[in-house]
């Protein structure tokens, strides 16, 4: 696409849908999804994607995942309802997380997959099963494992104390419940080596608690690198592994472990990609509203914020492109791009040097995960989101929110 065509396209999107505006690049998303799935399935045929809804629950994205055969991974009743509304069968919804709501009972009754996070939550789930003895239920456990990660995670049931053993016994001594699977998720551990370690520990756990017949599934959570742009890769200061690297180091040993079992007894292997699938495939168009200099420091104010762009925009400079659409162009040096929120720390890009004008369009890349879903109604409502196909077609995915959308749940004094 020529520079002029990019400018024309941005101009027409902003004119039609307002600024800022998210763009979801659906065909590239699908291509990445397929190559991720292909690499992992090649190493273990019973591998399945369980898409992490919390990362970006835009219905269009979740519908694409469903059409590609993915499962839904949800962590609240709200997300469970989203998945049901989109037509996911309970058997293809994994209900995780530390605060499951009352709909957990409906999900378990319908044969859904559930991974329990604590002994207290297990007690609640088991009392429901006991109160409904004419039905059978399946329960999985989230294991809190130590792979040498830098923090003590609060998620899952501790496998280094008697808690995990207790949980297994509680499930197995409840007549109408079976222990169906094991789950873990380790944050801040994206290296291939850490995946190999998590796999090894989970296999040891599976052998211990399922010595004769494998569990129905083992779910390794998420945290693989996706295909990332050089600007993003440089932040991590390491060689970014490919999906094939993960498959070789962590998924192939899983196959080796269960190869001797007939296929129907081999467990399903889930991972729960979120940012891995999303990040690169959403960008955000925004507009420069003011450029000012204060005591030698240059600021460019944009009509977006760190809330639209996500925490990642404060961790490092996102991939950025300026589309010259305003004038007069100024030559800036070490300018900070700042958001609309009235917060001093709302700096969305640091040390920009180059030309810029009020009215220019600033395009941020890599904003697919934990962005639109985490935007609070602070100062401004949320902007629109559109889908762009590789043939250039643009269609609306989410309309711009209005002030009425924000205020409608508050109660007003009667006049």
Give contact residues for ligand PLP (rule: CB under 6 A).
52, 55, 73, 96, 185, 187, 221-223, 272-276, 369
Q: In terms of CB distance, is 298 or 313 closer to ligand PLP?
A: 313
To ligand PLP, the closest distance from the beta carbon of 75 in angstroms equals 7
Got the DSSP string for 77-127?
HHHHHHHHHTT--GGGEEE-SS---THHHHHHHTT-EEEE-SHHHHHHHHH
Measuring CA to CA, how many Å separate 198 from each of 96, 162, 330? 18, 20, 52
Got the DSSP string for 6-38?
HHHHHHHHHHHH-SSEEEEEHHHHHHHHHHHHH
Q: For strand 347-356 and strand 361-364, is the pairing parallel, antiparallel, or unpaired?
A: unpaired
To ligand PLP, the closest distance from the beta carbon of 195 in angstroms equals 12
Cβ-contact 32, 227 below 8 angstroms: yes
Q: In terms of CB distance, is 155 or 164 closer to ligand PLP?
A: 155
In whole angstroms, what separates CA 83 from the centre of its chain?
15
Q: In terms of CB distance, is 73 or 360 closer to ligand PLP?
A: 73
- What's the burial of 336, exposed, middle or buried (CB within 10 Å: 0-12/13-18/19+)? middle
* Cβ density class 292-305: b for 16+ within 10 Å, e for less: eeeeeebebbbbbb
To ligand PLP, the closest distance from the beta carbon of 70 in angstroms equals 13
Q: In terms of CB distance, is 289 or 374 closer to ligand PLP?
A: 374
Spell out the residues 6+ positions from residue 258 whose beta carbon is closer than 8 angstroms to its own: 214, 265, 266, 267
To ligand PLP, the closest distance from the beta carbon of 301 in angstroms equals 30
Q: In terms of CB distance, is 56 or 286 closer to ligand PLP?
A: 56
Q: In terms of CB distance, is 20 or 274 closer to ligand PLP?
A: 274
To ligand PLP, the closest distance from the beta carbon of 200 in angstroms equals 20
To ligand PLP, the closest distance from the beta carbon of 128 in angstroms equals 22
To ligand PLP, the closest distance from the beta carbon of 335 in angstroms equals 31
Q: In terms of CB distance, is 3 or 193 closer to ligand PLP?
A: 193
Task: Supply the DSSP symbol for 318.
Answer: P
């Amino acid at each position: 696409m020529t520079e002029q065509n990019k400018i024309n396209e941005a101009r027409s999107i902003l004119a039609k849908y307002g600024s800022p505006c998210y763009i979801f690049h659906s065909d590239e998303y699908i291509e990445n999804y397929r190559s991720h799935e292909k690499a992992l399935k090649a190493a273990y045929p019973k591998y399945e994607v369980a898409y992490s809804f919390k990362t970006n629950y835009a219905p269009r994205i979740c519908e694409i995942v469903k059409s590609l055969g993915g499962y839904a991974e949800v962590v609240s009743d709200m997300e469970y309802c989203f998945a049901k509304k989109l037509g996911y069968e309970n058997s293809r919804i994994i209900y995780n997380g530390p605060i499951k709501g009352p709909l957990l009972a409906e999900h378990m009754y319908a044969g859904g997959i559930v991974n329990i996070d604590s002994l207290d939550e297990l007690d609640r789930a088991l009392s429901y099963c006991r109160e409904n003895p004419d039905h059978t239920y399946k329960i999985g456990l989230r294991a809190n494992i130590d792979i040498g990660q830098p923090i003590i995670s609060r998620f899952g049931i501790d496998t280094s104390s008697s808690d995990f053993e207790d949980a297994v016994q509680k499930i197995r001594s409840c007549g109408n419940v079976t222990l169906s699977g094991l789950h873990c998720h380790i944050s801040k551990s994206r290296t291939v080596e850490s995946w190999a370690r998590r796999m090894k520990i989970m296999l040891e756990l599976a052998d211990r608690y399922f010595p004769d017949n494998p569990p129905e599934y083992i779910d390794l959570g998420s945290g693989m690198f996706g295909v990332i742009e050089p600007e993003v890769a440089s932040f991590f200061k390491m060689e970014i592994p490919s999906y094939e690297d993960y498959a070789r180091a962590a998924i192939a040993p899983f196959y080796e472990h269960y190869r001797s079992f007939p296929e129907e007894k081999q467990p399903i292997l889930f991972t729960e990609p979120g940012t891995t699938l999303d990040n690169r495939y959403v960008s955000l168009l925004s507009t420069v509203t003011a450029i000012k200099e204060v005591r030698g420091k240059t600021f460019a104010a944009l009509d977006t914020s760190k809330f639209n762009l996500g925490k990642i925009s404060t961790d490092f400079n996102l991939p950025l492109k300026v589309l010259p659409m305003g004038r007069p162009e100024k030559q800036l040096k070490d300018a900070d791009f700042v958001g609309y929120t009235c917060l001093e720390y709302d700096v969305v890009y640091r040390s920009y040097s180059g030309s810029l004008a009020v009215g220019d369009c600033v395009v941020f890349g890599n904003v697919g995960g934990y962005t639109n879903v985490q935007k609070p109604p602070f100062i401004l409502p949320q902007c629109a989101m559109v889908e762009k196909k590789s043939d250039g077609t643009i269609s609306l995915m989410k309309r711009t929110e209005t002030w009425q959308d924000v205020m409608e749940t508050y109660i007003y004094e009667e006049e």
